[in-house]
Structure 1
């Protein structure tokens, strides 16, 4: 019962004009980040086994991506 209420509420948000606009931005920002991490940072396959080790690998990859974004931003600033 509670799940149906949440689903209807989420559908209303997602199908609104602002929701559609946010989803377009998500594809540009978030999905691009995942797509980049697979070939450039070796996340197509995890090198380690176990939930903790895989989590550490993913977090390190995200940290590397963030550092690259910061470096690119600072280089653009001069």
Structure 2
């Protein structure tokens, strides 16, 4: 199992749509947008390599230097098999 944490979603959105418009969108929306695009591209690239599996966007996990913490309210926001 792999865990991927995106830490610069707002910066990526700002680079794509501009700082002014990015300032008008909440950070949670930025994270969801980047995660959704990333899931789409991961599925496309992993499928092209012949890999099969699942990918999910999960809320309520905190990735730290020394481990993974499960927070209250853990839920899967999006899950796709490929």
TM-score, structure 2 as length reference: 0.37
Q: Which has the higher helix share?
A: 1
Q: Which has the higher strand share?
A: 2
Query: Using CA pairs below 8 Å that are at least 6 residues apart, which structure has the higher relative contact order?
Result: 2
